[in-house]
Each structure stands twice: as C-alpha cells, then as structure tokens.
Amino acid sequence: MSLRQGTRRIRINKAWEPSRCLSGSQTPRIPFGWQECRSVASTASAERVLFPGALNSKFTNTLKFLRPSANEAISTYRVMDQSGAVIDKEAGVDTEDEEALELYRNMVCLSIMDLLMFEAQRQGRLSFYMVSAGEEGISIGSASVLSPADVVFCQYRETGVYMQRGFTLDQFMNQLFANSKDIGLGRNMPVHYGSSELNIHTISSTLATQIPHAAGAAYALKLQNQQQPEVPPRITVCYFGEGAASEGDFHAALNIAATRQVPAIFICRNNGYAISTPTSDQYRGDGIASRGAGYGMDTLRVDGNDIFAVRRATKEARRLALENGGKPVLIEMMAYRVGHHSTSDDSFAYRQKVEVEDWKRRDNPLTRLRKWLESRNIWDEAKERELRSRLRKEILVAFDKAEKEKKPGIKHAFEGVWEDITEEQKMHIEELTDILQRYPKEYDIEQHEGGLASLLELVKTDKK
C-alpha cells in the first residue's frame, strides 16, 4: 500500500499489501490483521463472512444478539492499591525515587495553585478558573512519559500536562491575568493556555474540537516520521473528557485516526460528570473504552488515581502508537471530579456533598503516591509541611507579579489574523478610538500597554 505525494510514492505499511490479504480459496489465518485487508473474494464454500464490510466472521445458525450488559465490564489497570502498596512486586513501578518525588512535588504544586486561584476568583481578582482536583495523576503522570517533541492537544482540565512539560508559574499567572506578558496576548479566557515552545496547542472552549485536530496532526506526523527517518518519531496525544466524547467530533476523529492508522494516543479523562450531567445520563455502554474497541483500536482502561499505572499505560501506548508506522491507541483514565466544574458552577446543586467528601477520603492520586513515598521512607510530615509552605510562597510571588503587570496593548485585538490591517479594520479602529476618547472614565486605557497610542500607531504604521 502506498500514498501518492506529488510524483513520489511513499511506502506505508507492508501488512496492507493485497497479496497478504484473504482470498476465498485460502483458509483464513487468525489472528491476521483483518482490519487491514483491502481486497477479498468469496467462495461458495466459505465458512466465514467475506463481505468486504465484515471480514473473517464465522457463520452461525444460533440466533443470539450481542448483549453488552451481560458482559463483565472492561477491567481497570492498576499498579498499586489504595494504600499505596505495589500489587505485582516483581513488575515494580518503573519509577526511580527521585522521579517519584518530582511527580509528587508537581501534583502538590498543582493542587495548591488550584486552591489559591479558586479563592482569587472568589475575591474578584481573577475572572474564571478551573481546578484539576482528583485528576492530577492523569495529567502529570501521562505527560511525564512523553517525548517533549510529541504534539499535545488538551481540553482544559490538564493544567498538570503544562506543568510537567515546563510551563512556569509566571506563565500560568500571566495567562490567568491576561497581562502583557501572556503568550496569548490576553486573547483567550483564563486556563486556556497554549505553548508552541512546549508543543501544546492552545486550548479551545468548544468541546471536542481538539480531537479531529489531533487526528489530522497525527496523520501529518505519520508522513513526517517516514520522510525523516533520521529524526526520532513523534506522536500526538489528545486529552478530552468523557462528556466531550458525546460530540460527533470524537467519533469522526477516532474513525479517521483508525482508518489512516495514525500515531496518536487518545486519553479520555472519565471523571463521572460533564458539568451537571452524570455519566449515567451520557451513555449506556461500558464507558468510553468500549468505543475504542468499536473503532478497532488498541484500548485500555486505567485507574487514574494510580500515577504509576497511568505512566506505564501511557508509555506502552506510545510504543504501540509507533508500531508499524503508526496506529491510534485509546486510554480511558478513570477518575472522580472532586471540584466544581469551574468557578461558574456550584456542584452541590446536582450532587450530594457526602459523595464528594467520600471520594476525597476514599481515594486520591496525591494521597496514594504519598503513601507509597512514605512506605519507602523518603517522605514524612515535616517534608510535606516544608514543601507546601515553599510552593504556596512561590505561587503567591508569581501571582502578585502578574497582577501588577499592564494589560496587553489594545492593538493586539486587531493583529494576528490579517497580514496587514484591512480597510474594514481601520474603520473599527477609528470607531474604537472615538469611543475610548469620549468615555475615559468607563475605559481605563492607561492600564493597557502603550495606552491609546498603541492603537493609533497601528493605523499609522500600516503601509497600505
């Protein structure tokens, strides 16, 4: 099988060659990669279905519907139990003590930042915020085993991915305050971070749009990986919630990723809720993992409170995603959304407080890792107190600095889409200048870098 690219033909995957596929006269070889077959011919005596749409299915005269509710639910992969004890001592945790300590520090940092930012929003100092409580292990654990060159697409509850990849406290705070130092120039709402330097696409509020983007980017990477064999191959990693998986975009993306066999990991954070909608109202099947199997993908369900399981699963998924030139993998990470959906939500309007308290007490990615660290005698209460107090200070220093920065120049509202300012934009700039000058009390333009001059300069410097 080959793809046309200009006049060159690029070899994709040996297993796709029609000569290696079934023909009616051959005895089907199972488990041959039947999904990859392209040409088949049926014979009168065939014992298996050879319609092009469902290859290699045995004929049966038993009338029996598939009944998923009668099956055992898909198992959930774990490395350590709730008390932090490793289940398979021989397999261990694949993590050195020093690395486990770093992961723990990042998880604690994220949880403290979340608490402080949530409070800051309540004080009216930030306009909006979303916490990751209960899901710190998923974002930090999975990001910790990726290559920095892998291309990441997030939803919005993956602040830990940014933190693990090196987004600094200053960068978080500058984005949250939409100040002049924000990489996004204050154009996005809080927590919708982005970093080309860290290979993470900017977050978009519109649910699930990142999933087809990730499938498309993975297809581009598949071609790049083949064209540049001297460069280490890359994959895309796409995060989304189980609620986003109800969007059509999810299905379209997984299907195209599967049919094109692209190197991608789709990580679903199943935290039980899509704002106020519980999973019981979102789907009737066995979570999101059952859908991966439906699209013909390698799929795994993982205990998201177990950072070692998250890491091992993601590492193996990355290896699989690069097998035979590429294939998509789905991981469903199970969690519980401990916090409210966002600062605009009061979750006790639709769930019992006791349910949340129970989850906080019963299981948590931070306490599990802490128990493991303590069992190895590399962590204790004194270290915990010192770490928390140091991180709290560091976060507050970055917060104060960012709060004092000026807002981005108003000109940025007009830049970045067209190469030159258009005639229509010039009209808008004139109208805006007029309004800002007429209502100085309502619009404090001096808090924006360059004040009104930044806007006027935009029209003046435009050559056309």
Ligand X SMILES: Cc1ncc(C[n+]2csc(CCOP(=O)(O)OP(=O)(O)O)c2C)c(N)n1
| Residue 206 interaction partner, one of ligand X, Mg ion, none, beta carbon < 5-8 Å per kind | ligand X
For residue 163, the minimal CB distance to ligand X (Å) is 17
Binding segment toward ligand X, per CB under 6 A, in 271-279, 315-323, 412-420, 434-442: 271-279
| Residue 352 interaction partner, one of ligand X, Mg ion, none, beta carbon < 5-8 Å per kind | none
- Crossing angle, helix 365-375 and helix 136-143, to 10 degrees? 60
In a 10 Å sphere around its CB, with 0-12 CB exposed, 13-18 middle and 19+ buried, how is residue 392 labelled? Answer: middle
Binding of residue 241 to ligand X (CB under 6 A): yes
- Crossing angle, helix 136-143 and helix 97-122, to 10 degrees? 130
Q: Which is nearer to ligand X, 172 or 273 (CB)?
A: 273
Helix runs in 26-179, H state only: 97-122, 136-143, 159-165, 169-176
Q: Which is nearer to ligand X, 213 or 341 (CB)?
A: 341
- 205, 276, 344, 389: the active-site residue: 205
Helices (H) and strands (E) in the chain — how many of each? 14, 11
Binding of residue 365 to Mg ion (CB under 5 A): no
Q: Which is nearer to ligand X, 289 or 398 (CB)?
A: 289
Q: Which is nearer to ligand X, 236 or 347 (CB)?
A: 347
What per-residue string of b and e applies to 220-259 under the rule 16 or more CB within 10 Å gives b?
ebbbebbeeeeeebbbbbbbbbbbbbbbebbbebbbbbbe
Helix (H) or strand (E) holding 403: helix 381-404
Listing DSSP states for 141-195 in one string gives HHHTTS-TTSEEE--SS-HHHHHHHT--HHHHHHHHTT-TT-TTTT-S-TT---B
Binding of residue 153 to ligand X (CB under 6 A): no
- 340, 341, 412, 448: the active-site residue: 341
C-alpha distances in angstroms, 139 versus 181, 228, 295, 314, 384?
25, 30, 24, 11, 21
Q: Which is nearer to ligand X, 132 or 195 (CB)?
A: 132
Binding of residue 211 to ligand X (CB under 6 A): no
The mark string for 334-363 relative to ligand X (x by CB under 6 A, - otherwise) is ---x---x----------------------
Paired sense of beta strands 48-49 and 57-58, if any: antiparallel
Binding segment toward Mg ion, per CB under 5 A, in 72-80, 84-92, 226-234, 268-276: 268-276
Binding segment toward ligand X, per CB under 6 A, in 47-55, 266-274, 283-291, 318-326: 266-274
Tell me if the bond preceding 31 is cis, omega within 30° of 0: yes
For residue 182, the minimal CB distance to ligand X (Å) is 21
Q: What is the rounded CA–CA span in Å between residue 48 and residue 64?
A: 17
Q: Which is nearer to ligand X, 219 or 273 (CB)?
A: 273
Give the CB-nearest residue to ligand X: 241
Active site residue 119: yes
- For the beta carbon of residue 130, count every other beta carbon within 10 angstroms: 23
Among the listed residues 457, 451, 452, 459, the one whose alpha carbon sits nearest the alpha carbon of residue 420:
459
Active site residue 39: no
Q: Count of residues binding ligand X (CB under 6 A)?
A: 15
Active site residue 403: no
- In this structure, the chain runs to a length of 464
Site for ligand X (CB under 6 A): which residue of 16, 162, 172, 273? Answer: 273
Here the tokens at position 388 are 């928390």
Active site residue 424: no
- For residue 60, give the DSSP letter: -
Binding segment toward ligand X, per CB under 6 A, in 165-173, 221-229, 273-281, 424-432: 273-281
Binding segment toward Mg ion, per CB under 5 A, in 148-156, 251-259, 266-274, 354-362: 266-274
Q: Which is nearer to Mg ion, 283 or 443 (CB)?
A: 283
Residue ranges that bind ligand X, judged by CB under 6 A:
157, 205-207, 241-244, 269, 271, 273-275, 337, 341
Residue ranges that bind Mg ion, judged by CB under 5 A:
241-243, 271, 274
Residues with a known catalytic role = 119, 205, 341-342
